Structure 1
């Protein structure tokens, strides 16, 4: 097939080429100017500083770290903490936002008004104010000696949540492998059910079985590790002025997750409400004519059709959660911005390299999240 080139097409190509040349020249000028200024100031550039000793502590980390480790290790600690906060906040915000959103369209007057008040209050108060409020609330909890016992070996105090800790002694990688395998099996089951189903999208009947399949193999692996004595369990015990053993979930982490989850859930709730109300009222009338209950009409008929337009909008909320996790710097939680973009930058003076690392990491997180959500949206689109 030969494409016909017209005068208008040549003009469009010329304009785009001219714009590309101008933008490239601008970036080249800025880069050259920056390089000359750095050389004139005698500032050393490059990422060799990442192999130097960090020399600062991080109060919470998912991977082993001490102040004798390198700046690169501190960077990975920040990445892991950012991923942890983002993942937990996305899960809790989605669950809470979906509940509030469905409550907004409830026929129960009290539930509907309470959910509306929640949305209007939460989304109209700045996130950083809510973050500070939650952090102050957790710091006002009783001290360690008067900590609140939530269950056996689980304590809550102003120093955080003390919970038992399971050390896999090198077997953790096998638990991760079984999780990946079981997740793949769950996805195969989901695709099998969807191929046999007329409807595409969110099916609440699938998710309990999906979750059971996903968690079955890791649970069996953990039980095997415990029964063969390849794992050790450490429980928190009050010794002096602090807990010894177990794991302490610091209040900074809890406050950041709660603030992000609550704030973002108000936006997800409005997205859910709008998408549900966009479904024709004739669908509800048809469901009643077929003898469906209100519960079945909502979860079996309305929600599956409303999920598809929800996904692109909820994706934007997820991206905001990932980027807003950087507010951990306000309360001293050592995520990516606090570690690499803050302490490492101040210690080394490598501002450009540190900021580039932070920007590139957040950009990668956002692009991967967007890619996954777009893939999911294409999979549940009606008619495919």
Structure 2
């Protein structure tokens, strides 16, 4: 867009106000304001269902340089409630580009603001924590707001404070697929995976399919009987938005999956739900982890992985030593924290030692990167194949026990 930009205002829940210019669609948008530290992958970020009802502050100064294309979206639509930029690109300049970011956001009705001090907003959120916010432009911008007149700003702050909070929000149900669909494997089929969609990103089933998995993506309202009808080798829980404490039905489903003995892998929201299923608590982070440059320690190898994150909640589990899962007196056996975030020691992964289940808080599919954690998809395929082998071959111990029984 090359038209003269009109004024816009972003107002935070605590009354902080920043004046800029309208970007993308004009109007009003409300949501939890968060910041993402990624320097690239903005198209993947804005189309990630986990950002549903969130206003995203991009800490990288220049956004829109590489435009958009039909290959990089993580879903069929933009999910970001709003975008906050410092310097929007005047035009896209990339050989893969098929359009301008601002035009696409405007067509999707995403309200944004540009030419604001995103560093100041980010520092404020780091000090005060994420909070609700609103972007106002066009007909939604009252007289006097740009001049910072108290009455106008009080009106806007009041609107923001009346908007829903993220704590307790059940948002995954608003982004899940309405119908099941299949992503076929590349090459020889090695396993069948049922992926429960709570906001799944397109690259996730693609990563599994690339390793020979037939992936059946199903709505989050699926039952265990429906899962078993697909005869899966394993079950996957995806990322998604909202508070994990609002997903009681999916926690009960996951316990049924674990009780049935299916190998399980979860990421992001799926990690939080595994934590809850095992009996651990979850809590809201002060400002969360969002971006493609988060350092995580793999405690089993001592290797540091640079990973992609998008989460505002975390699992509360003992970090130092394995613990007995609190649910039902240790029903699921021992659990260890497999990964921790090096910036703040937040739990970034769980591994069950007595049942075939593990999860990570970050995004190993990582579009547009990094790909340090892609090995986790290989681990899941190996786990399913190994578990299937145990089912098909009872092993020497069981064979011996059977022979002893027959001899007696």
> TM-score, normalized by length of structure 2?
0.20
Larger Rg: 1
TM-score normalized by structure 1?
0.21
More strand by share: 2
User: Greater share of helix residues, 1 or 2?
Assistant: 1
* Greater RCO (CA < 8 Å, at least 6 residues apart): 1
